[in-house]
Amino acid sequence: MDDRIIKTEYSDVMQKSYIDYAMSVIIARALPDVRDGLKPVQRRTLYDMYELGIRHDRPYRKSARIVGDTMGKYHPHGDSSIYDALVVMTQDFKKSLPLVDGHGNFGNIEGDGAAAMRYTEARLEQVTQLALLADLDKNVVDFVPNFDETETEPAVLPARFPNLLVNGAEGIAVGMATSIPPHNLAEVIDAAKAYMLNENISTKELMNHIKGPDFPTGGIVINKDDLAEIYETGTGKIKIRGKVEIERGKNGKTNLVITEIPYPMIGANIAKFLSDVAALYESKRTQDIVDISNQTSKEGIRIVIELRKDADIDNFTNLLYKRTRLEDTFGVNMLAISHGRPETMGIKAIIRENVDFQYEVAKRKYTTLLEKEREKKEIQEGLIRACNVIDLIIEILRGSKDRNMAKACLVEGKIDSIKFRSKESKIMATQLNFSEKQANAILEMRLYRLIGLEIEALINEHEETIANIYRYEDILDRKDAMVQVLVNELDEIKKKFGRPRRTVIENRAEAVYEEKKIEEMEIIFLMDRFGYAKTIDMPTYERNKEAADSENKYVLPCKNTGRVGIFTNTGQLYTIKVLDLPFGKFRDKGIPVDNVSNYNSEKETIVCITSQTSLNLYRLLFVTRLSMMKVVDGGEFDVAKRTVAATKLMEGDEVIDVEILDEQRNIVLRSAAGFFLRFPVEDIPEKKKGAVGVRGMKLNPGDTVDAVYYTRNTVDTVIEYNGKNMELNRLKLGKRDSRGVKVRK
């Protein structure tokens, strides 16, 4: 037993296992092959459809049948990955050249998913048959065993053009990812032809044919000058903008219509774009938007933004480019499998790999065709010779006892046991020397082939076969002849399936948005007892002053360009931009302050609300439940952060009062046990916001401060305590950090 135990380092086993797993994902799942531009699941799905006979000129078949057959024969990794690959290959908004013709709901550009595979149907596109699957019966590629070695599948499809560039690719492997943009078929074919005619062509010269990416969604590539380096190295970033048109709307308004979107926006990002545009208006970054609607249909993208009459259209368009995904970036990483390993390549390397592969495919194809034509020539020559001595052959057949005897005579001239009518026939029979294949063809020949026209057709067919042999030998012997054949095939594909470019390639300056300066003005902040806040202008407040003061818990003047600060019992300061609050009519409901700040009304209590203007002008006095006090310069709270620690609290303590100090002269603390302490505000020292403060009142064990009052000189301050009115100005003036006076009930 001990002899069968192999001792090794655990780390070595893990490292080897992980590398094996990673390479399996990279090679067999996630990355495309540079030769045909397909991932294994795509290749297997297309080949399975080809084997099932689901051609472009035949009826559609259920997607579930295709998925099930592919999974059972070639790709045992679950049906969802196969169906997802099938769906993507049908979508003309993702693929520059769809490879599958889908019938039914295969999703849309707005991100809605495809229907279940039991509802949809599919068949191969014509281009897929002609340019990816043709000649598989001519030994043009290697076939390998499938996962259980019960079937064979092509290791790669015989692609006639650089499909990796035409349709692009996206995939995430282990430790690496590929992201290749789609390109125009006609341009890629022209580049491949240029490389065939001059293998020393540079990337820059190839770009005379390939202008840049050609996304199915159109759009505008705005960094043309960066493309040369991207196509040389295979990595970089492409900046894309949507296409915007201007239409005149109703009542003199202007409609901004987006007819093409950046390629990365397809799917759920269209809805994200719409919400981002709405957020621009809600955040008051722009007031030019009147309405926005998505009118996208089968005819194409159409997103309409209705603008105000006086809107600066160029400035607003630049705002969309800066703040939304109307301008986006496509990260390029041209990573693909080359010679069994992942490699990042520029467009020249990709085209070179595909062209070399086309040479190999053509060589194998014409070698196979040449062998077949030579076999055909041999048989044709035998049949022609047989027609010239047909009487002798008939005599041999009639005189032979069986097929083998007749065949031996035709091949070797053996005449044993064969009965002839004359000695001349017997002598001529001994001179026959047909080959095995010729003899079999003669023995299987039907009598109608002896008709004069049939013999003439046989001779013509023989001449055609000789011409084919000469042509195939010429193609195999001379590279320029093979190049011409490949160029002709590419021209045919270009003529049949090429289309005009959709994406515009140019250089454009970076979008610059100039924010309109907001005219500063005094407004009134209103917040009711339910936490709903809004702002109104001064004239509106003056007209509704009595109602505003009675219906709202907080009423304070502020500037429309400033901020409002909320101090809570937890010692936090939450700031709100006044522009984030709705501004308008007095009877508008407003919005919860929770929506425009980090304040949580379920966990915290508001102690004080003030404007940034007041904070900058005055000092603040803090009082806590455990009688800790301090004065802080309000300027310390002039911060841009939405949440700031306004004070430091001891364990179990909380803030019960924050007051802006103006004309207050004395402060009165009241404890839960009924002690009152009145002392001058000047006795409270000024501290930093991060300090705990000093004790304001000595408390008995278990006692806490539960109320704070302020008095002014010459102004009587009266409160109600235990059902009786109490004048705070008459309390004896004491000292800070004393017990105060016990007030009897």
Task: Check whether residue 605 and residue 670 sit in a common domain.
Answer: yes
Q: What are phi and psi of 620, to 5 degrees?
A: -120, 140
Whether residue 67 has pLDDT greater than 60: yes
Query: Quick check: is 119 catalytic?
Result: yes
Whether residue 469 has pLDDT greater than 90: yes
Whether residue 84 has pLDDT greater than 70: yes
Task: Check whether residue 492 and residue 623 sit in a common domain.
Answer: no
Whether residue 280 has pLDDT greater than 70: yes
- Within-domain flag for 15: no
Task: Check whether residue 570 and residue 705 sit in a common domain.
Answer: yes
Whether residue 487 has pLDDT greater than 90: yes
Task: Check whether residue 473 and residue 393 sit in a common domain.
Answer: yes
What one-character-per-residue DSSP string does 375-428 give?
HHHHHHHHHHHHHHTHHHHHHHHHH-SSHHHHHHHHHH---TT---SSHHHHHH
Between 74-78, 187-191, 440-444, 587-591, the lowest mean confidence (pLDDT) is in 440-444
Mean pLDDT of the 38-58 span:
94
Q: What is the DSSP letter of 117?
A: T
Beta bridge partners of 559: 522
Task: Check whether residue 145 and residue 58 sit in a common domain.
Answer: yes
Between 85-89, 201-205, 247-251, 289-293, the lowest mean confidence (pLDDT) is in 247-251
pLDDT given for residue 510 in this prediction: 82
Q: CA–CA separation, 472 vs 367, rounded Å? A: 8
What is the number of structural domains in the chain?
Answer: 4
* Single-letter code of the amino acid located at 662: D
Whether residue 2 has pLDDT greater than 60: no
Per-residue burial over 660-672, b = 16 or more CB atoms within 10 Å of its CB, e = otherwise: bbeebebbbbbbe
Last residue of a domain, one of 158, 191, 215: 158
* Single-letter code of the amino acid located at 291: D
- Within-domain flag for 62: yes
Please enumerate in sequence order all residues whose Cβ is within 8 A of that of 470, keeping only pairs 6 or more positions apart, or say none: none
Are the C-beta atoms of 410 and 396 separated by less than 8 Å? yes
What one-character-per-residue DSSP string does 9-44 give?
-HHHHHHHHHHHHHHHHIIIIIS-BTTT---HHHHH
Q: Which helix (H) or strand (E) holds 569?
A: none
What radius of gyration do the chain's Cα atoms show?
44
Q: How many beta carbons lie within 10 A of that of residue 236, not counting itself? A: 18
CATH number at residue 570: 2.120.10.90
Q: CA–CA separation, 183 vs 196, rounded Å? A: 19
Q: CA–CA separation, 390 vs 189, rounded Å? A: 54
pLDDT given for residue 119 in this prediction: 96
Whether residue 157 has pLDDT greater than 90: yes
Whether residue 208 has pLDDT greater than 90: yes
Mean pLDDT of the 165-180 span:
88
> pLDDT for 513-549, tens place per residue?
776 677 788 999 999 989 999 999 999 999 999 999 9
Give residue 617's domain range.
Answer: 522-742
Are the C-beta atoms of 574 and 597 separated by less than 8 Å? yes
Q: CA–CA separation, 391 vs 422, rounded Å? A: 12
Mean pLDDT of the 492-498 span:
95
Between 139-153, 267-281, 344-358, 564-578, the lowest mean confidence (pLDDT) is in 267-281
- 3-class secondary-structure state, position 244: strand
pLDDT given for residue 448 in this prediction: 66
Give the percent of the chain with pLDDT over 90.
59
- Within-domain flag for 602: yes
Whether residue 655 has pLDDT greater than 90: yes
- Within-domain flag for 119: yes
Whether residue 256 has pLDDT greater than 80: yes
Q: CA–CA separation, 218 vs 226, rounded Å? A: 19
Last residue of a domain, one of 158, 176, 194: 158
Task: Check whether residue 564 and residue 428 sit in a common domain.
Answer: no
pLDDT band, residue 25 (cuts 50/70/90): low
Choosing from 83, 119, 321, 599, the catalytic residue is: 119
Whether residue 453 has pLDDT greater than 70: no
> pLDDT for 690-743, tens place per residue?
999 999 999 999 999 999 999 887 778 888 888 888 888 888 889 999 999 988
pLDDT band, residue 13 (cuts 50/70/90): confident
Average pLDDT of the chain, as a whole number = 89
